[in-house]
Amino acid sequence: MGNSALRAHVETAQKTGVFQLKDRGLTEFPPELQKLTSNLRTIDLSNNKIESLPPVIIGKFTLLKSLSLNNNKLTVLPEELCNLKKLEMLSLNNNHLRELPSTFGQLTALKTLSLSGNQLQALPPQLCSLRHLDVVDLSKNQIRSIPDTVGELQVIELNLNQNQISQISVKISCCPRLKVLRLEENCLELSMLPQSILSDSQICLLAVEGNLFEIKKLRELEGYDKYMERFTATKKKFA
């Protein structure tokens, strides 16, 4: 991509606060964006070949609310990313991430996090300290179990489809705001699904197709009628 074209994008972004440069074969985060650290609210660099984010620059976008880097080649995120105190939406689907920075809990404004199609092997514990997090997509990773810390998650929707989950802590029933739990195409036996999800949680949409049991067996479990009450009440609300 020519320098003049990039300059034009930078000039436009200076006025709009939005920098979008998708499908351009970029191999690095454009250094020209350094000039815009104080006025960008949205950056979208999806569908490129970016392998890393520059630590020195990335933490300086103090007004940034939305950052999308889907379909790149990121293997690690710099700690400095966690300085983005106004960031509300972070989308990093289809990269090569194995973990999140230890300081990830500092992204206190984060509402939506998409990490589908990465290489995460565990539920990142840092997510438990994010109080405004509404939606988390961890589908298509390599997560095998859901630990006790899950009970501290504040999310409304948690997508864990297409992982390798065979164990779930009963603490998932304690999530105070969790309404939608997606567990399709995992390795769950029916005996490993905590019954309290049905009888004693806020969950009103449980998606478990494609596991190691028939859905009709789920309907025979104690507490299923309570779950269906919540499911029906929510359906009516949105009808």
Residues 67-102 have pLDDT tens digits of: 999 999 999 999 999 999 999 999 999 999 999 999
Q: How many residues does the chain have?
A: 239
Least confident of 9-13, 38-42, 94-98: 9-13
CATH number, residue 158: 3.80.10.10
Q: Which of 66, 79, 71, 80 is nearest to 51 (CA)?
A: 71
Q: Which domain holds residue 192?
A: 120-238
Q: How far apart are CA 122 and CA 98, in angstroms?
A: 9
Is residue 61 a part of any domain in this protein?
no
pLDDT band at 239 (very low <50, low <70, confident <90, very high): low
Q: What is the pLDDT of residues 190-205, one digit of tens each?
A: 999 999 999 999 999 9
Is residue 20 a part of any domain in this protein?
no
Is residue 2 a part of any domain in this protein?
no
In one letter, which amino acid is 55? P
Is residue 58 a part of any domain in this protein?
no
What percentage of residues in the chain have a pLDDT greater than 90?
Answer: 93
Is residue 29 a part of any domain in this protein?
no
What is the model's pTM? 0.96
Is residue 78 a part of any domain in this protein?
no
User: How many C-beta atoms lie closer than 10 Å to residue 176's C-beta?
Assistant: 11
Q: How far apart are CA 34 and CA 61, in angstroms?
A: 9
Total domain count, the chain: 1
CA distance to 14, 71, 182, per residue, from 203 (Å)? 43, 31, 10
Partner residues linked to 205 by β-bridges: 180
User: How many Cα atoms sit within 13 Å of 112 on the Cβ side?
Assistant: 9
Q: How far apart are CA 104 and CA 92, in angstroms?
A: 14
